[in-house]
C-alpha cells in the first residue's frame, strides 16, 4: 500500500510539472509554426508574382515579334499589290510572255530582298493561274487545278474563313531542282481584293513566312534555357514546334492547355501552378489580341522555386534553433513556476498520504479483528466502528464471507519479491472490490500474504449472482495478474456478529481444496459424502508396492500406489494426510533396509521429501511427488543391483587371477570363497558373462599357458602344472580345444 501511494504521489507531481512544461512548449511551437508558415507562403507568393512579371515581359516581347512579322508582311503585300509590273499578272486573262517574265523577275526581287519571306504566291482569277516564287526552286506558273500547294487552292476557295493579313500556320510542300518534295512550316498571310459588292475575289497575294521567324524570336528571349516557350492558337493547335511537340500538334486535350483556353476568355494573361507532363510547373500565358494566339511559358517549379526553398530551409533551421532555445527557456521557466507549487502540493500529498495510510491501516486492522472475534463485540460498538471507518454496511442484514487463496503459494513467493507481492495483492483487492460492488456492499480484507477475504453485505436472494462474481474474480486475476485463485464461500449469516463464525467456516472448507484442485470454488452447500466405515490401511497393497520397488519396476509400483490412493473412499483430507505420512515412512524404511544389504548407500533425502510433501496443496501434486520418489528409488535399486553384479564379476576375476595354478580351483571352491551357493553363482555368472565359470577358468589358464610357451623354454609338462592342470594329456586336449593347435605347434609357430 505504501509503495502504491508513493507511485501515485510521484505520478501526480510529475503530471503537474508536465502540464506546465507542455503548455509552454505548445505555445512556442504554435507561434513558430504559424510564423514560419506565413513567411513561407508570403515568400512563395512574392516569388511567383515576380517570376510571372518577368516571364510576362518576355512573352510580351515575343508577342511584339509576332506583331512585327504581321506589319512587315502587310507592307510587302500592299507593295506587291500596288506594283504596276505585277498588275498584269493579277488582272490580265492572258499576259504576254515578256510581260510575264518581267513580272516574275520582279516577284523574285521582292523575295530576295526580304530574308524573312519563304515564298510568294500570286493568284489571278481572270487567268485561273498561280504564279509562285520560292528560294528553293525556279518560278512556277501553274493552273489552279494543277498547283502543287493544295492548301493554297483551299485558301482561295474558302477565303472568307480567314482574316485578311493574319498569320495562318501551315505546312507547305517545297519543290526542289531534283524534283524532291519537302515540307516547310510557314505562316501564310493572304491579301485579296473584292470588287464592289462581289463576293468573289479578283486576285490574291499569299506571303509565306517561315516558322523560324517566331522560333528565333523565342530562342533569343529564352536566355536561361530553363523552361519551354511555345504558341498555340485559339483552338489549342501548336503553331511553333518544340523539341518534344511537332508543328500543328493538337494540344487541346492536355489539362493545362484546357485551363489556359478557358481562362484566356476572361483574362488576357495570367499564371498558375499545375502538372505538365507529370512535372509540377509554373504556367504563364499571354494572349495576342490580333491573332488570338496564346504565348505560353512552362517553367519547372523546382527550378524557379530553388531560392525560395533555400529561404524555406533557412527559416526551418532558424525555427528549429528558436524551438531549442524556447525549450530550454521553457524548461527553466517551468521549473521556476513549479517550485512553489511543488512545495505546497508536496505538503498536501504528505498530509493526505499520512491520513490515508493511517486510516487504511486502522480500517484493515478493524476488519481483521471483526472476522476473527466479531462475536465478542457489542452491536453498538460495531456500529460505531463502521461509522468511524465509513463502512456503509447494515449490521442487521445478511453477510457472506468469501476467501480467496493464492494457488501454488510456495512458487509464487519464489517468483516475486515481497514488494511485488504486495502490489499484486493490492491488484487482487481492486479486482474483487470492483466486481463484488456490482452486486452489493463489500469490503476487502487483507488476511495474510496468501489469503484475501471479501465481506459481502445485503439481501442475497440468489446464490448464482455471487457465485458468478467469484468466477469472474478468478478469471480476471488469471487474465490480468497471471495468478490462480481458489475460493471458499461461507453460508449466509443473519447479522454482523456472525462474521467470525462465517470466516471460520470458510477457512475450514479450504481443506477440500486438497481434493478439488486449483481454482476450485468451495461452499457450504456442496454435498460431501461421509465414510460409512472406519478407514483401514491397505497393508497388502503397500507390500506389493514395496516389493516391486525393490525389483526396480517403476511402472508396476506406481500402479500399486494408485490402487492405494483409490482405496480412500470417500476422499478425505485427514485420511490422505495420515496415508501419505505412512507411505513416506514405509518407503524410507524400505530404502534404509536395502542400503544395509548393499555396499553403496541410496542417495535420497527423505527429510526434504516429507518437508516438501507437507507444502503441497492438492492431491494431484502429492501424487506426482510420490511418483517422482518411486521413479528415483527404482532407478537407485537398479543401479545397486548393477553395481553388486559388477562387484561379483570382479571378485570372481580376482580369485581366478590369484589361484588359477591351483588344481583344486573350481566353481564349488569359488562359491565357497564367496559364501554363495554354486548353483546361484553359476546361474548369475552365466547370465552376466554369457559363459560358465569352468569355461572362463579354462580360457584364463590357456591364456597364461600361451604366454609361458612364448616367453620361456620350460617343458610343456611343467607349463601344464603351472597353469593348474593335473597331467599334460588333459592340458593338450584343452589347449587344442580353445586354440585349434597343440602347445608344441603354438610354440614353433610363435603365434
Residues in the chain: 751
- Is residue 584 over pLDDT 70? yes
- Is residue 1 over pLDDT 70? no
Looking at the DSSP bridge assignments, the partners of residue 131 are 122, 141
For the beta carbon of residue 34, count every other beta carbon within 10 angstroms: 10
Q: What is the DSSP letter of 104?
A: H
Half-sphere exposure of residue 178: CA atoms within 13 angstroms, side-chain side: 2
* Burial of 664 (C-beta count, 10 Å sphere; 0-12/13-18/19+): exposed
When pLDDT is averaged across residues 185-191 and rounded to a whole number, the result is 90
Report the C-alpha dihedral over residues 27, 32, 38, 39, rounded to 10 degrees. 160
8-12, 146-150, 161-165: segment of lowest average pLDDT: 8-12
The predicted structure's pLDDT at residue 403: 93
Looking at the DSSP bridge assignments, the partners of residue 295 are 231, 286
* 40 vs 37: CA distance, rounded Å: 5
Q: Which are the contacts of 748, defined by CB distance < 8 A and separation ≥ 6?
A: none
The predicted structure's pLDDT at residue 537: 86
221-230, 658-667, 670-679: segment of lowest average pLDDT: 221-230
The predicted structure's pLDDT at residue 27: 74
Looking at the DSSP bridge assignments, the partners of residue 487 are 404, 521
- Tell which residue, 479, 329, 499, 301, has the closest CA to residue 400: 499
When pLDDT is averaged across residues 695-712 and rounded to a whole number, the result is 87
520-578 residue pLDDT tens? 998 877 777 776 778 888 888 888 888 887 777 888 888 988 988 888 888 887 888 88
Phi and psi at residue 620, to the nearest 5°: -65, -40
The predicted structure's pLDDT at residue 334: 62
In the three-class reduction of DSSP (H, G, I as helix; E, B as strand; rest coil), residue 552 is classed as coil
CB 282 within 8 A of CB 299: yes
- Is residue 372 over pLDDT 70? yes
* 375 vs 395: CA distance, rounded Å: 12
467-480 residue pLDDT tens? 889 999 999 999 99
The predicted structure's pLDDT at residue 2: 47
Give residue 7's pLDDT band: very low, low, confident or very high (50, 70, 90): very low
Average pLDDT across the chain, whole number: 80
* 709 vs 201: CA distance, rounded Å: 151
Q: Which are the contacts of 32, defined by CB distance < 8 A and separation ≥ 6?
A: 319, 322, 323, 326
The predicted structure's pLDDT at residue 591: 76
Helix (H) or strand (E) run with residue 357 in it: helix 306-373
CB 178 within 8 A of CB 165: no
CB 52 within 8 A of CB 283: no
The predicted structure's pLDDT at residue 452: 92
Sheet holding 119-124, edge to edge: 140-143, 129-134, 119-124, 201-210, 182-194, 168-174
Helix (H) or strand (E) run with residue 404 in it: strand 398-406
Q: For 95-177, where are the E strands, in sequence order?
A: 119-124, 129-134, 140-143, 168-174
CA angle 287, 292, 295 (to 5 degrees): 40
Render 559-610 in DSSP notation, one character per residue.
Answer: HHHHHHHHTS-S--HHHHHHHHHHHHHHHHHHHHHHHHTSSS-----HHHHH
CB 86 within 8 A of CB 80: yes
What is the number of H-type helices and E-type strands within the chain?
A: 25, 15
The predicted structure's pLDDT at residue 4: 47
- Is residue 5 over pLDDT 50? no
The predicted structure's pLDDT at residue 307: 62
CB 649 within 8 A of CB 689: yes
* 285 vs 263: CA distance, rounded Å: 10
- Is residue 739 over pLDDT 50? yes
* 342 vs 336: CA distance, rounded Å: 10
- Is residue 32 over pLDDT 80? no
The predicted structure's pLDDT at residue 303: 75
CB 231 within 8 A of CB 215: no
Give residue 643's pLDDT band: very low, low, confident or very high (50, 70, 90): low
219-228, 312-321, 372-381, 395-404: segment of lowest average pLDDT: 372-381
In the three-class reduction of DSSP (H, G, I as helix; E, B as strand; rest coil), residue 361 is classed as helix
Q: Which are the contacts of 280, defined by CB distance < 8 A and separation ≥ 6?
A: 273, 274, 300, 301, 302
Looking at the DSSP bridge assignments, the partners of residue 659 are none
Sheet holding 521-523, edge to edge: 441-446, 451-458, 398-406, 485-489, 521-523
* 686 vs 680: CA distance, rounded Å: 10
pTM for this prediction = 0.44
The predicted structure's pLDDT at residue 89: 81
When pLDDT is averaged across residues 291-296 and rounded to a whole number, the result is 86
Q: Which are the contacts of 712, defined by CB distance < 8 A and separation ≥ 6?
A: 719
* Proportion of the chain above pLDDT 70, given as a percent: 83
When pLDDT is averaged across residues 306-335 and rounded to a whole number, the result is 71
Q: Which are the contacts of 422, defined by CB distance < 8 A and separation ≥ 6?
A: 1, 3
The predicted structure's pLDDT at residue 646: 60
Q: How far is CA 138 from CA 82, 131, 133, 174, 493, in A?
A: 24, 11, 7, 11, 132
Report the C-alpha dihedral over residues 541, 542, 548, 551, rounded to 10 degrees. -150
Q: How far is CA 148 from CA 100, 151, 158, 606, in A?
A: 20, 9, 18, 125
Q: How far is CA 316 from CA 34, 35, 688, in A?
A: 12, 11, 92
199-203, 284-288, 314-318, 338-342: segment of lowest average pLDDT: 338-342
The predicted structure's pLDDT at residue 370: 83
* 648 vs 681: CA distance, rounded Å: 9
204-237 residue pLDDT tens? 899 989 988 888 777 776 666 677 888 888 888 9
The predicted structure's pLDDT at residue 453: 93
The predicted structure's pLDDT at residue 454: 92
The predicted structure's pLDDT at residue 402: 92
* 123 vs 160: CA distance, rounded Å: 16
Amino acid at each position: 500500500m505504501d509503495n502504491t501511494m508513493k507511485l501515485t504521489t510521484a505520478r501526480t507531481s510529475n503530471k503537474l510539472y508536465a502540464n506546465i512544461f507542455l503548455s509552454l512548449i505548445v505555445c512556442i511551437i504554435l507561434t513558430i509554426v504559424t510564423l514560419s508558415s506565413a513567411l513561407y507562403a508570403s515568400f512563395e507568393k512574392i516569388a511567383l508574382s515576380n517570376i510571372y512579371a518577368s516571364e510576362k515581359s518576355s512573352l510580351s516581347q515575343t508577342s511584339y515579334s509576332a506583331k512585327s512579322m504581321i506589319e512587315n508582311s502587310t507592307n510587302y503585300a500592299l507593295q506587291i499589290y500596288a506594283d504596276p509590273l505585277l498588275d498584269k499578272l493579277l488582272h490580265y486573262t492572258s499576259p504576254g510572255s515578256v510581260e510575264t517574265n518581267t513580272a516574275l523577275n520582279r516577284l523574285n526581287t521582292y523575295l530576295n530582298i526580304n530574308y524573312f519571306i519563304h515564298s510568294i504566291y500570286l493568284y489571278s482569277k481572270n487567268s485561273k493561274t498561280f504564279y509562285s516564287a520560292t528560294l528553293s526552286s525556279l518560278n512556277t506558273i501553274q493552273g489552279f487545278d494543277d498547283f502543287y500547294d493544295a492548301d493554297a487552292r483551299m485558301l482561295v476557295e474558302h477565303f472568307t474563313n480567314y482574316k485578311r493579313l493574319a498569320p495562318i500556320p501551315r505546312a507547305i510542300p517545297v519543290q526542289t531542282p531534283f524534283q524532291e518534295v519537302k515540307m516547310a512550316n510557314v505562316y501564310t498571310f493572304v491579301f485579296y481584293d473584292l470588287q464592289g459588292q462581289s463576293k468573289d475575289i479578283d486576285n490574291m497575294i499569299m506571303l509565306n513566312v517561315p516558322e523560324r521567324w517566331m522560333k528565333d524570336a523565342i530562342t533569343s528571349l529564352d536566355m536561361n534555357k530553363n523552361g519551354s516557350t511555345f504558341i498555340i492558337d485559339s483552338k489549342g493547335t501548336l503553331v511553333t514546334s518544340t523539341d518534344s511537340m511537332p508543328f500543328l500538334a493538337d494540344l487541346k486535350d492536355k489539362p493545362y492547355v484546357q485551363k489556359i483556353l478557358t481562362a484566356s476568355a476572361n483574362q488576357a494573361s495570367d499564371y498558375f501552378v499545375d502538372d505538365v507532363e507529370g512535372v509540377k510547373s509554373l504556367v504563364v500565358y499571354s494572349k495576342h489580341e490580333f491573332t488570338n494566339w496564346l504565348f505560353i511559358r512552362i517553367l519547372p517549379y523546382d527550378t524557379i522555386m530553388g531560392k525560395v526553398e533555400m529561404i524555406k530551409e533557412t527559416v526551418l533551421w532558424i525555427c528549429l534553433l528558436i524551438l531549442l532555445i524556447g525549450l530550454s527557456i521553457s524548461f527553466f521557466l517551468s521549473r521556476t513556476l513549479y517550485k512553489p507549487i511543488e512545495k505546497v502540493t508536496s505538503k498536501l500529498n504528505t498530509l493526505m498520504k499520512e491520513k490515508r495510510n493511517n486510516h487504511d491501516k486502522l480500517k484493515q486492522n478493524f476488519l481483521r479483528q471483526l472476522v476473527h472475534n466479531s462475536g465478542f463485540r457489542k452491536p453498538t460498538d460495531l456500529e460505531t466502528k463502521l461509522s468511524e471507518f465509513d463502512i456503509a454496511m447494515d449490521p442487521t442484514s445478511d453477510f457472506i464471507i468469501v476467501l480467496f487463496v493464492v494457488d501454488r503459494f510456495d512458487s509464487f513467493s519464489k517468483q516475486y519479491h515481497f514488494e511485488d507481492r504486495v502490489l499484486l495483492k493490492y491488484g487482487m483487492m481492486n479486482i474483487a472490490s470492483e466486481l463484488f460492488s456490482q452486486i452489493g456492499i463489500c469490503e476487502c480484507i487483507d488476511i495474510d500474504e496468501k489469503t484475501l477475504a471479501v465481506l459481502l453485505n445485503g439481501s442475497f436472494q440468489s446464490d448464482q449472482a455471487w457465485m458468478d462474481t467469484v468466477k469472474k474474480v478468478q478469471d480476471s486475476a488469471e487474465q490480468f495478474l497471471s495468478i490462480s485463485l481458489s475460493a471458499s464461500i461461507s453460508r449466509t449469516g443473519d447479522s454482523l456478529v456472525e462474521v467470525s463464525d462465517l470466516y471460520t467456516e470458510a477457512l475450514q472448507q479450504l481443506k477440500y481444496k486438497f481434493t478439488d484442485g486449483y481454482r476450485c470454488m468451495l461452499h457450504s452447500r456442496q454435498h460431501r459424502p461421509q465414510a460409512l466405515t472406519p478407514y483401514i490401511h491397505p497393508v497388502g497393497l503397500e507390500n506389493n508396492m514395496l516389493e516391486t520397488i525393490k525389483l526396480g519396476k517403476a511402472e508396476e509400483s506406481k500402479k500399486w500406489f494408485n490402487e492405494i490412493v483409490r482405496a480412500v473412499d470417500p476422499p478425505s483430507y485427514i485420511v490422505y494426510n495420515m496415508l501419505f505420512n505412512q507411505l513416506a515412512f514405509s518407503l524410507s524404511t524400505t530404502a534404509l533396509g536395502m542400503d544395509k544389504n548393499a555396499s553403496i548407500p541410496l542417495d535420497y533425502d527423505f527429510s526434504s521429501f516429507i518437508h516438501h510433501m507437507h507444502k503441497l496443496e492438492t492431491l494431484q501434486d502429492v501424487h506426482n511427488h510420490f511418483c517422482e520418489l518411486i521413479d528415483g528409488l527404482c532407478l537407485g535399486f537398479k543401479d545397486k543391483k548393477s553395481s553388486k553384479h559388477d562387484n561379483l564379476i570382479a571378485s570372481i576375476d580376482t580369485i581366478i587371477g590369484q589361484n588359477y595354478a591351483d588344481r583344486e580351483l573350481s566353481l564349488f571352491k569359488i562359491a565357497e570363497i564367496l559364501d554363495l551357493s554354486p548353483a546361484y553363482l553359476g546361474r548369475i555368472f552365466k547370465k552376466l558373462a554369457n559363459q560358465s565359470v569352468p569355461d572362463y577358468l579354462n580360457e584364463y589358464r590357456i591364456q597364461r599357458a600361451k604366454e609361458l610357451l612364448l616367453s620361456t623354454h620350460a617343458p610343456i609338462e611343467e607349463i601344464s602344472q603351472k597353469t593348474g592342470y593335473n597331467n599334460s594329456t588333459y592340458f593338450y586336449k584343452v589347449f587344442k580345444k580353445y586354440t585349434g593347435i597343440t602347445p608344441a605347434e603354438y610354440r614353433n609357430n610363435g603365434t
